[in-house]
Amino acid sequence: MAKRAFYRLIAALYIAFVFATSLFFFLIACVIWLITRPFDRRLKLLHQFTCLWASLYIWVFPPWTVTVQGRELIEPHKTYVIVSNHQSLVDILAAFMLFSHFKWVSKAELFRIPLIGWNMTLNNYVRLRRGHRGSIRQMYGACENHLQSGSSIFLFPEGTRSETGRMRPFKDGAFVLAKKLSVPVLPIVINGSKNALPKDSLNFHGNTHVQLQVLPPIDPDQYTAKSVEALREEVRELIRGQVAEELKASPTPAVP
């Protein structure tokens, strides 16, 4: 009982710290936006600052650690459709630690969060109202514009966080965009974040190490002749083969 109360206190203090410091960081973001907007149309500097802002919330919180493997596979001047499994809100902080330029595709509700959501709007990230056809069309249009202008996009094809860590089915959107615009798909695997902040929980759950692994990109010439469905399942299987909960659930081969 005492441990649970202690963990709740840590969570409350951490959340309070995030929102208290967000005012300071948001003001800096506004200044960067005002100064760089005329010549930095893709808002690359603002996004890099946002990566730093998000990463600080990992660096200053010792119970959570993140390691990134395969960052060298991302070519700085190349545009990607980035896709990843999704276990926790911590996935977002971990992904920012790539320090790679991209635009998030995120549910519209997050844009209404004071300061943090407002910064998402400043960055011109893409909002999506799930189940709303008009919003889906707008999302596709915004993603196409970003990709054509040289900004990668980052999506969670599962659509929502997994409660167990095991992967949900992938939706088609990311792969429709990749095929239509002949953009490489960059698969990313996230392990451990479920233990830091499980779905439907804002409580602290103890020390957690999150691993973010960048897999080799899939160039368009590797999937031109494949259907969207085939590409979707191929990428899902690549990621699934590295997800800890999926590996634990796989039956152990019988020894002859």
Residue numbers of the chain with a pLDDT score lower than 70: 198-202, 205, 250-256
Q: Cα separation of 120 and 111, whole Å?
A: 6
DSSP bridge partners of 188: 84, 214
- Indicate left, alpha or beta for 45 from its phi (over 0: left) and psi (-120 to 50: alpha): alpha
Q: Cα separation of 77 and 56, whole Å?
A: 25
- The pTM is what? 0.92
pLDDT of residue 251: 59
Task: Identify the CA nearest to 74 among candidates 95, 45, 49.
Answer: 95
Tokens 């259907």 locate to 227
pLDDT of residue 150: 96
For the chain, the residue count is: 256
Tokens 């189940």 locate to 131
**Domains in the chain: boundaries:** 2-246
Residues ≥6 apart with Cβ < 8 Å to 124: 43, 103, 146
DSSP state at residue 182: T
Per-residue pLDDT tens over the stretch 109-161: 999 999 999 999 999 999 988 777 788 899 999 999 999 999 999 999 998 88
Tokens 């990749």 locate to 178
Task: Identify the CA nearest to 153 among candidates 191, 180, 186.
Answer: 186
User: What CATH number does the domain located at 2-246 have?
Assistant: 3.40.1130.10
Per-residue pLDDT tens over the stretch 235-244: 999 999 999 8
